[in-house]
């Protein structure tokens, strides 16, 4: 039986003021691939990758100037994204 491929959909969430809070892709409503989160002023706050709703690989946290503050390597079987629990 052939594998069923799920179409990826762009997903954007907004702050109350309408500015972008989060941007990434979903497959069947589950975060997948590269995602970014932003502060109200538009600077990047965090970025990283999802596989089947799980945070994987390196996740980067940025300071208020948009510079890299720290990089965290996610362990296998990390906790699912809060929106998925």
| Sign of torsion over alpha carbons 11, 45, 56, 33 | positive
The reported pLDDT for the residue numbered 85 is: 39
Reply yes or no on whether the pLDDT at 79 is more than 60: no
Q: Is residue 2 part of a domain?
A: no
Q: Which residue has the higher pLDDT, 80 or 29?
A: 29
Residue 1: inside a domain, yes or no?
no
Q: Is 53 a member of any domain?
A: yes
* Structural domain containing residue 63: 8-76
DSSP string, 12-51: EEE-TTSSEEEEEEEETTEEEEEEEEE-TTS-EEEEEEEE
Reading the block at residue 29, the tokens are 């409503």
- Strands 54-62 and 68-73, by their bridges, are antiparallel
The C-alpha torsion from 76 through 30 and 27 to 21, rounded to 10°, is -110
Confirm whether 3 is domain-assigned. no
Q: Indicate whether 58 belongs to any domain.
A: yes
- In this structure, is residue 54 part of a structural domain? yes
pTM: 0.80
In the chain, how many domains are there? Answer: 1
Q: Answer yes or no: is 64 within a domain.
A: yes
Q: What percent of the chain has pLDDT over 70?
A: 84
């Amino acid at each position: 039986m052939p594998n069923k491929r799920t179409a990826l959909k762009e997903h954007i969430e907004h702050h109350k003021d309408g500015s972008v809070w989060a941007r990434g892709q979903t497959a069947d409503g589950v975060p997948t691939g590269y995602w970014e989160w932003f502060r109200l002023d538009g600077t990047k706050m965090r970025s990283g990758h999802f596989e089947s709703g799980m945070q994987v690989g390196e996740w980067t946290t940025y300071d208020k100037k948009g510079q890299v503050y720290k990089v965290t390597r996610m362990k296998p079987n990390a906790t699912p994204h809060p929106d998925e629990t």
